[in-house]
Structure formats: structure tokens, C-alpha cells
Chains A and B, each alone.
Chain A
Amino acid sequence: MFSSIHFVFSVAKMSQKKLYSSLILILALFFVGESANVYYMYRVSRCIFSSSNISAMVYFDRTYFNKNLFIQFNSNLGRFEGFNEYGLKLAEFWNNGTFVDQEKDVVEFFCKYNSQIYENSILDKAVKPKVKLSSVTRAGGRQSTVLMCSAYDFYPPHINVFWLRNGEVMTSEVTSTMEMADGDWYYQIHSELEYSPKPGERISCVIEHASSNKPMIYDWDPSLPVFERNKISIGVSALVLGIITAAAGIIYYKKKTTGRTSVVPSRLITLPLMFGR
């Protein structure tokens, strides 16, 4: 591949001298002026293939100047095509030279070899989304509830997010973003559902993605989150334990003191309790 990248990005086997002379030859046909404009140029050499049939590969070598495509090589046509006056002249020049023959060989030397490397390391890979289902407060104090289903850090970008109400797909009141790129191969997506809650119904966010062979279903639980329920459980348990211990202690103490003071005249029975004797 080392040589194949060079193969694609070297401008034929022309020397730099030949390169300049060919450009200046075409340049002579045009008016030359001065400008303070910003100029930017880029070249995209791209192999396009189907994962089911890697041999049916198309190669495009496109050169853009100031946002506009001005010349491209198309492996299906086997020649260069120009897209403006200058591009047409350059395409004609290159199609009659050796550069076109080199470009024709790129599919074999560059595309198939490299695409197979990356097909093995990337194409069969998928990363499962991290999903969060939450309720969102909206200004305006309406009676409806807004639920947000967010999926983070998934790959590849193609994903399908939809909502179910008691197993039925909900279409109205659903707003979703596109797959948003994080710029590091990973993606995120957000879907909002605005609905009027009814008691006993089940609302679910469903995600279909290459990382799972069956839909991932996340049910909305309107009750308190687990950690908050745990806090209440701890509080209740401590309170109950405290009440039981206190009650047991007091009963035990009463029994003991009642047993000991039974021979004392009735008017003194309360003294041990009052004065802690």
C-alpha cells in the first residue's frame, strides 16, 4: 500500500518540469489577473464498493478548486472528465497522455488491496449505544410529559429510534435529531416524545442498530430512580428497626420494673419511672 498511495497521488510519471509546462500551456488560453481572494484546492481519491461484492469497485479521483469540482477521473468511463472550461482542456490533455493509463490501474493496485484491509478491521465492527431515558421539563407548564431517549457512543452511524405505547408504534408528537457525529468515529442521537400520561400504560424507547441482532427496548419507569428508592428503603428500614428496638426496650424495662415494684404501695409505682430508679 505504501507504493499504492504514492501511485495515486503522484501526478503521472511526468517530471515537475513537464507538469508545469502542461499547466502553463493550458493557462495561456486564459486571462491572467490579480486578486486578493482566498484560494483552496483539494483532491479526493475515493474507492466505492459494496461489502457484498468487493470486486465491483468504482474509483473516482476528483479535484476541486474553490469549492467547485473541475476535473475527475471515473474508472467506469476509464477517462478524465472536465467540469468547466479549464477542466475540459486539462481532461483532454490528460486523456491523451500516460496519466490516464495509470489511473486505470488504481482499482487493482490501490482500491482492492486497501479496502480489504479495512473491511477486515472496521466493516464487521459495531459498538452498542449507551442509552439514557429521561423526562424533560418544558417551560409553559403544560399537562403533557416530554420524554427524551438519548443514545451515545455508537458505531456505525445508521440507527433507528422509535417509541412504543403499550406495544404500538407512536408516530405523532415524536421529534428526533439526525445521527450527530462526535468527530471520533462515534455518534449520538436524541428522540423526544411529547405525550399525555395515562395510568397503567407502558411507554418504551426502541433502538435498532447493527450492534444488536434484535431491537433494544428501554421501558420508561415513571417511579423514582433506583438510588432514590434505595434511600427511602434505608430510611424506612432504620425507622422500623429503631421503633422495634425502642418498643422492645421499653416493654422489657416495664416488665422488669413492674415485677420488682409489685409489693410497693400503689402510689409509689410511678416513682421509678419518673426518677429513673
Chain B
Amino acid sequence: MEALLRITLICVCVQAKDYHKYGLIGACGDADQEDFIVQFDDEQLAHVDFKEQKDVITLPEFAGQAVLPPIYVDAKRAEFNCKAYLAVLREVYASSPEVLEPPWSSIYPKSDPQLNLKNTLICHVTGFFPPPVRVLWTKNNVNVTDGSTISRYYPNKDGTMNVFSRLSFIPEEGDIYSCSVEHKALQQPQTRTWDVEVKQPSIGPSVFCGVGLALGLLGFATGVFFTAKGNNCN
């Protein structure tokens, strides 16, 4: 009872203050899934690319010159241990029902969309289990492969996962983009669409400017013409 009270008090104190989290996530699964992520406040500082056998630093620009130590060797060891546990646990839980949670996705641009200015579309997929998910992008109903990336899988508080897929694009009036998410818990892909609806500047001021300039130029030419004519009269 005393221990339980102590845990409760600690949790209350930590929740009440402005607290921060630093940590490591090591994950493994069937179909050669493996992940090793260094996190700070749920943001990714670095991860390991097991195929390339190297660390990938993902610090933001504002972090300056923070030095991250190498993590690949430790990540490899962590993965070995993870797979050892997984091999045992999959036997233990072989008869238990499969845990399946469908994803929920949303699509939005990274910055204020402006015509012909490079931007990024984000497809945030969350609440699913287990990984992986497959994210497919289309532009005007045509599949797009170039310029798309997918992040590592991050765990949510409830044990489900979330992931970000990003697509570089240049907004052009009338274009329709979509991201389709495929997952084991879905009968059919979940599709979200986003169309380029950049508020066009009204045509009135441009027309007025053009007409004003034209008439002004005509008036100026008329003035010059008559002035020259007047001079010729001498």
C-alpha cells in the first residue's frame, strides 16, 4: 500500500511540473522489422538504419551543434536481445487472439500553400497495431513515388503506433492529392484527399492597374504629342 501511494505521489508530482523525457526505443517484429530510436520529448534525435549499418541524426536546425555519440553497435546488440525475447514470447502467446488496431489518417500541408511554391504534404497515420502500414500517394489519381518518405514507427501512450509519410510537391491550381493507407486491420485502403485551393488574388485590382497604366501611357503620349506639336507651331 505504501509503495502504491509512493508511485501515485511521484506520478502526481511529475505530471504537475513541466517535465521532459529522454529515452531509447528498441523494437523488433516479424518480417525483419527492426527499429532503434533515440528520443527527446517524443521527438526523434536519431535512429539506426540497419540496412546501411549507420546512425541517422535527425536533430532540428535550432538544436545547433549538439554532439550525438555513435549508437549503431548498441542498437545491434539491442536488436539481438529483442529478437531473442520475441522468439520466446511468440511461442508463449501463440494461442492468444491477435491484437489488431486499425489506423486513423489525416492529410495536411506543412506550410501555408501558395501556388508554384515548394511545399510538403504530410500524411499522419496513427492508432494502428501492429506495424507495418503501407502509405501510397496519388496526384490527380496517378500514383506518385518520387519525393515521398516514411518515418520510423513511434509508440503512442496506449501502445498503438503512429507514423508520418511526407510528399514534396508544388501546389498548382486544381490538383488533387491523396494518401492511401494499407494495414492488416483494414478491409480496404483508407484514403484521405487534399486539393489545392489557394485563394487566388481577385482580378479587379490587376485589371484596374492594367487599364490605368494603359490609359496613363496613352494620356502621357497625347500630352507629349501635343507639346511637340505646339513647339512646331513657332
Contact = CB atoms under 8 A, between A and B. Distances in A.
Given A50-B19, A249-B224, A5 B92 contact: no
A95 interface: no
Contacts of A66: 93, 96, 99, 129-130
B104 interface: no
B117 interface: no
Given A183-B151, A185-B60, A122 B40 contact: yes
B20 A184 contact: no
Nearest to A8: B24
Interface stretch (B81-89, B139-147, B171-179): B81-89
Nearest to B90: A39
B25 A44 contact: yes
A113 B230 CA distance: 89
Question: For chain A, which range describes its interface: under 10, 10 to 19, 20 to 34, or 35 or more residues?
Answer: 35 or more
Contacts of B3: 77
A159 interface: no
Nearest to A2: B69
B202 to A, nearest CB: 7
A9 B34 CA distance: 14
Contacts of B24: 5, 8-9, 44-46
Contacts of A31: 95
Contact of A115 (B20, B33, B206, B223): B20
A86 interface: yes
B110 interface: yes
A275 interface: no
Contacts of B33: 40
A42 B79 CA distance: 10
A5 B98 contact: no
Contact of B212 (A37, A122, A229, A234): A234
B159 A253 contact: no
Given A246-B220, A253-B230, A65 B93 contact: yes
A247 B224 CA distance: 10
Interface in A118-159: 118-123, 125, 127, 130, 132, 134, 150, 152-153, 155-156
A255 B43 CA distance: 80
A257 B33 CA distance: 95
A69 B85 contact: no
Interface of A: 1-2, 5-6, 8-11, 16, 19-20, 23-24, 27, 30-35, 37-52, 58, 63-69, 74, 76-77, 86, 111, 114-115, 117-123, 125, 127, 130, 132, 134, 150, 152-153, 155-156, 180-186, 188, 224-225, 227-229, 231-232, 234-250, 252-253, 255-257, 260, 272, 276
B27 A249 contact: no
Given A47-B21, A65-B93, A150 B112 contact: yes
A41 B89 contact: yes
B216 A39 contact: no
Contacts of A47: 21-23
A100 B121 CA distance: 46
Given A122-B40, A184-B60, A255-B230, A32 B94 contact: yes
B209 A231 contact: yes
Nearest to A69: B159
Given A67-B159, A260-B233, A40 B27 contact: yes
A23 B88 contact: yes
B74 A9 contact: yes
15 contacts: A33-B94, A41-B27, A45-B24, A48-B14, A51-B18, A58-B10, A119-B20, A134-B199, A152-B110, A182-B164, A185-B60, A225-B201, A245-B220, A253-B226, A255-B230
